[in-house]
Amino acid sequence: MFNLILFGPPGSGKGTQSENLIARYGFRHLSTGDLLRAEIANKTPLGLEAKSLMDQGQLVPDAVVIGMIDAAMKANPDVPGFLFDGFPRTVAQAEALDALLEQKGSSIGVVLALQVPENELISRMVNRAKTSGRSDDADEQVQRKRLDVYLRDTLPVAGYYSQFGKVVEIEGVGSIDEIFARLTAEIDRRK
């Protein structure tokens, strides 16, 4: 089993690249953003709680997302590996993920960290807002809040995995195909 984390700030292209990586390698895609948006679409109590936080650019509580990931992993016992997209977003989530993988006798193979400058991130989110229908994309104040939360709560996750030598920085500016080639080169070297 080979598991990887696609890491990066909001709008760095994690969701975009995940789709292509799944098509190439057959990983099971676990995106906490997608799982939360499905809860919102189904108007579940969890979705209602998540929506108000997401619309403010805040993170959803650790216990909620860890519970979702735990359930999704248990529902997929026989996969060649998981691609975690947008998760973990806090060090507490990273520690919980390591514990869940350890129960399966597995671990994270690599953390691929997309590097994209802030002005490019804002411009991508502004563009995505035109078609995504995502209420958390619509407002530049919210986008800036998401970037602040990323720097404060999520960037330390890269530090956490760095201590185990698992983080590889990937230049995240360029065409989607160019970035995909950079990602696959790193995966192929390790698989």
Least separation, in Å, of the C-beta of 89 and ligand B4P? 4
Q: Helical H runs in the chain?
A: 14-25, 32-41, 45-55, 62-74, 91-103, 118-132, 140-149, 155-162, 176-190
Measured between alpha carbons, how far is 106 from 108 in angstroms, rounded to an integer?
7
Q: Does 10 bind ligand B4P (CB under 6 A)?
A: yes
Beta strand 108-115 with 3-7 is: parallel
Q: Does 66 bind ligand B4P (CB under 6 A)?
A: no
Residues numbered 159-178 forming contacts with ligand B4P, rule: CB under 6 A: 176
Nearer to ligand B4P, 38 or 165 (CB): 38
The binder of ligand B4P chosen from 12, 113, 160, 161 (CB under 6 A): 12
The site map against ligand B4P for 13-32 (x = CB under 6 A) is xxxx---------------x
Least separation, in Å, of the C-beta of 68 and ligand B4P? 9
3-state secondary structure 68-83: HHHHHHHCCCCCCCEE
Rg value, the chain, Cα: 16
Closest C-alpha to 155, from 184, 118, 182, 188: 118
Measured between alpha carbons, how far is 84 from 3 in angstroms, rounded to an integer?
8
Q: Does 83 bind ligand B4P (CB under 6 A)?
A: no
Q: Does 33 bind ligand B4P (CB under 6 A)?
A: yes
Measured between alpha carbons, how far is 168 from 157 in angstroms, rounded to an integer?
13
The binder of ligand B4P chosen from 94, 97, 110, 124 (CB under 6 A): 124
Least separation, in Å, of the C-beta of 118 and ligand B4P? 13
Does 191 participate in catalysis according to the annotation?
no
User: Which helix H or strand E contains 84, and what residues bound it?
Assistant: strand 82-85
Does 43 participate in catalysis according to the annotation?
no
Does 24 participate in catalysis according to the annotation?
no
Q: Does 135 bind ligand B4P (CB under 6 A)?
A: no
User: Which helix H or strand E contains 152, and what residues bound it?
Assistant: none
Known catalytic residues are: 14, 89, 128, 134, 146
- Contact residues toward ligand B4P (CB under 6 A) are 8, 10-16, 32-33, 36, 53-54, 59-60, 65, 86-87, 89, 93, 124, 127-128, 136, 146, 176, 179
